[in-house]
Amino acid sequence: MRGYIDRGYNVVKMKIGGESLAIDARRIESVLAEIGADAQLAVDANGRFDTLTAIEYAKVLRDYPLFWYEEAGDPLDYHLQSVLAEFYPGAMATGENLFSHQDARNLIRYGGMRPDRDWLQFDCALSYGLVEYMRTLEVLENAGWSASRCIPHGGHQMSLNIAAGLGLGGNESYPDLFQPYGGFPDGVKVEAGRIRMPDLPGIGFEGKTDLIRVMRDLAE
């Protein structure tokens, strides 16, 4: 976590649910103590909780200054998500495993998500690309949501460029994972949680030397 802060990030994320709630609470407290006021912490359960467990975690997590509580339960369990909102007043995040504008509409209708604080994580590369993502944004707008509440999952170049081009709320980044697809174009650095997009066409594969090399090999 300290390494990410040293590279310019001001929001970091950790996984929860692999240990008991008591151990996870100690883990969270350790990270919060380490990052102090330098960054905010998000937690991600990767959809592993049933409703009761999700609520048990919510009752503990709501006492911490978290950036969000992510994907507590099965991505299609809209009832779980809506019940969770009754116990967790902080920001929730979900949607990375939903793949169409119809899925997005069902989440907004039935999942208890709140447009003033919650985050939507639809991954454009997994949900049929730019055109379908624009349909999803239209659904959200009609339901009273701003595109700025979307932070795409995945940390890849396609999400990065769509986030910048469509005015989304941000984009996840995995600088040490999923290479060569993760990270940013050559020479781009994170400063205070933000980057300056390079002047590149399209998705921007050409600006990442290790990625364009893979793309060219695949095309030959």
Show which residues are catalytic. Answer: 15, 153
Residues 27 and 14: their CA atoms lie apart, in Å, by 9
Residues 6+ apart with CB under 8 A from 39: 1, 4, 5, 9, 10, 11, 12
First to last CA, the chain: 40
At residue 138's C-alpha, the angle toward residues 135 and 142, to 5°, is: 145
Question: Which structure tokens are listed for 198?
Answer: 């390079």
- Contact yes or no for 169/119 (Cβ under 8 A): yes
Integer Cα distance of 192 and 176 in angstroms: 19
